[in-house]
Chains A and B, each alone.
Chain A
Amino acid sequence: MTLEELLQRAAEEREKQAAFRHTIRVCVAAGCLSAGSDKVKAALQAEVEARGLKHTCQVKGVGCLGLCSVGPLIAVDDAYCRNVTPEDAGGIIDRLGDRPAERLYLSAEMPFFARQQKIVLENSGRIDPERIEDYIAADGYQALLYALHEMTPAEVIREVTESGLRGRGGAGYPTGLKWSTVAKADGGGQKYVICNADEGDPGAFMDRSVLESDPHRVIEGMAIAGYAVGANRGFIYVRAEYPLAIQRLRAAIRQAERAGLLGNEIGGTTFDFSIAVRLGAGAFVCGEETALMASIEGKRGQPRPRPPYPAESGLYGKPTLINNVETFANIAPIIRKGGAWFAAIGTEKSKGTKVFALAGDVQNTGLVEVPMGLTLRDVVFDIGGGIPNGGRFKAVQTGGPSGGCVPEQYLDMPVDYESLTKLGSIMGSGGMIVMADTACMVDVARYFMEFCMTESCGKCVPCRVGTAQMYGLLTRITKGLATAEDLQLLEDLCDMVRNTSLCGLGQSAPNPVSSTLRYFRDEYLAHIAGRTCPAGKCEMVADPEKEVA
């Protein structure tokens, strides 16, 4: 397909859609589906059919609408309806063009929707993720064909560099720099592009949502990357626990191949690019890039020391570009609108937007995309709606098991890579767990340590044994059995595991402990010296003597 043909198709599809006077968008991403949105969609379609409205009102399944806590969520033209049941279908159709019933109605003006700025998620909840035509109508694949026809690979990289985009997987490495390194590497004719979709942080579902809502966006980003760095093979490594994402991704790849947007001689150029999906078998460590590549190669999914970095020697020993789902999802708009446009959003060092999975003790749980630099308070209280049931805010955990807890006094810090690192946490992939004062911070640290312990691959000693030892000590503290010496040992272990572990999993495993020790040390001391849990969460062993025996 050439660029002209693509634009033609987009115009046709848009015209087709414009013929409908009303559009009802039903979220069919995993969250709402599990709440029965497929039945809601069927009921709405039946109702439209029965009333002979099928030429004026379209009911389409779309990706995530964001506010997962009140699913099934649907959008009736510009208004949202929450907790919709199949029985509501008749009433909704009755009021087409009017405001939906009060019980269901959610205004698009509410801060949750209004304060977001969508780049990555601009198509989520708008297009049908299972139809390539919908994506094309939303300017899809224009960036790819434009890049192939009008730009050199170096120009593509320059645009990405200028955008200031940084890796969205967690570490925030400058994407343009990574691309240019791979582009310069000599692969002897073979290089690879890998999309890391092995999202495993507890409470994080950004990547899943993107793949379920807008799979073509990721494919397009990867193809552009392949062109830029000189790779003609791509892999998407996605965890097998995401069946819907995998299904939509595979369907999207087939559609793109059929449309000539993947495969040989894309857009009539000499550029070939194919993508294969590889499934992760449930190991968190496979989100680490060297472990991920070992897993694709069919080996035991364990990290290896870097250097050499993947850009130099990656998959099958060839130069490999590896980026996260959200990073790739940012590429098409950057090429379409220019790096300067992107760089105008966000802060000085953190450009663009960031998608967060807002979860925990917060009113509005779901998926949000905000410009970098918004404060944590804005995210938690304005967009998130604050703590439910009149609870008091205690901390927000960012970055999953590699991250840390940020206490109340730092709520006005801007959300960007540097600020979060300064606070002892990390941006991470975008998990954001809000905790009310009913949460015990020692228990929270223990939870994350248990996660790291069971997910440690076992290759290096500090992570394998160190996480188990730290978990044991944290357990003792939560049971009221620990001594001041135990706390000292815990801190020594944090330092050692951080500095000696082989990969990022081990190096960051102490973060939840160190950050809670930094801001909530008194809670640790209360457990140890006072044998009480200030949050009332931990049960102290009644007779420590018995436990000793």
Chain B
Amino acid sequence: MKPRVATIWLEGCSGCHMSFLDMDERLVELANKMDVVYSPLMDIKEFPEDVDVTLIEGAINTEEDLHKVRKIRSRTKLLVSFGDCAVTANVPSMRNEFAPKDVLHRAYVENATLNPGAPTFGEDGVPRLLNRARPVHEFVHVDLFLPGCPPPADAIYYVITELLAGNMPDPGALTRFGR
């Protein structure tokens, strides 16, 4: 059986996934070596069990993110913080010096052109913000860090091929914070 790989997009801009797609024709090679079992690039609703490797893009910003990341951690053997938002909380963390209610007010009232008004939370509304956007490893154990905004396709390719080969890669030479 081929290794089961998942990717997920939490509080980020999807740029890391774009960079993932930037692997271009190498994606075909990877597709032969692994099964992508969950990803924003495909239509699967529930995060599956028994995943070998999960790449997490994005910071932990809401209660929903936190819920997801815990579930993912419990269902994944090897968790990779994929890109600066997951590694450092990056741009999402720029709201951290303000209170969540002020952030929401700016977004949903001050800057809203249509129907300005505070959002509702929960089942029918938007996920509730945590006090601060924080990196993934502040909540769950992370096995590998792949910094970069976004990490270059070469770094992603290197990390995935090494992991598939059963090695623990060190992507330090190929990427850095803010790349």
Contacts and interface: CB of A to CB of B under 8 A. Distances in A.
Tell me whether A and B are bound partners: yes
A548 interface: yes
A50 interface: no
Contacts of B63: 549
8 contacts: A548-B66, A548-B130, A548-B139, A549-B63, A549-B66, A549-B128, A549-B130, A549-B131
A490 to B, nearest CB: 15
Nearest to A485: B141
Which secondary structure dominates chain B's binding surface? Answer: mixed
Interface size class of B (residues with CB under 8 A): under 10
B135 to A, nearest CB: 14
Contacts of A548: 66, 130, 139
A405 to B, nearest CB: 31
Interface in B91-139: 128, 130-131, 139
Interface string A517-549: 000000000000000000000000000000011
Nearest to A547: B131
A549 B131 CA distance: 6
A548 B128 CA distance: 13
A242 to B, nearest CB: 39
Contacts of A549: 63, 66, 128, 130-131
B79 to A, nearest CB: 15
Nearest to A549: B130
Interface residues of A, number: 2
Interface of A: 548-549
A549 B60 CA distance: 10
Contacts of B128: 549
A549 to B, nearest CB: 5
A178 to B, nearest CB: 47
A548 B130 CA distance: 8
Given A549-B63, A549-B131, 6 more contacts: A548-B66, A548-B130, A548-B139, A549-B66, A549-B128, A549-B130
A169 B64 CA distance: 56
A549 B67 CA distance: 11
B66 to A, nearest CB: 7
A362 B130 CA distance: 46
B92 to A, nearest CB: 15
B17 to A, nearest CB: 27
A548 B131 CA distance: 8
A549 B63 CA distance: 7
Interface in B43-63: 63
Contacts of B66: 548-549
Nearest to B138: A548
Contacts of B130: 548-549
Nearest to B141: A485
Contacts of B131: 549
Nearest to B131: A549
A549 B139 CA distance: 11
Interface in B143-176: none
Contacts of B139: 548
A549 B128 CA distance: 9
Nearest to B60: A548
Nearest to B139: A548
B38 to A, nearest CB: 25
Q: Which 8 A-B pairs have the closest CB atoms?
A: A549-B130, A549-B63, A549-B131, A548-B66, A548-B130, A549-B128, A548-B139, A549-B66
A307 B10 CA distance: 52
A260 B96 CA distance: 65
Nearest to B128: A549
A548 B66 CA distance: 10
A549 B132 CA distance: 8
A549 B62 CA distance: 8
A484 B157 CA distance: 34
Interface string B56-84: 00000001001000000000000000000
A371 to B, nearest CB: 53
A489 to B, nearest CB: 12
A485 to B, nearest CB: 8
A547 to B, nearest CB: 9
A549 B129 CA distance: 8
A549 B130 CA distance: 5
A490 B14 CA distance: 35
A220 B131 CA distance: 61
A484 to B, nearest CB: 11
A545 to B, nearest CB: 9
A482 to B, nearest CB: 13
B22 to A, nearest CB: 34
Interface in B13-33: none
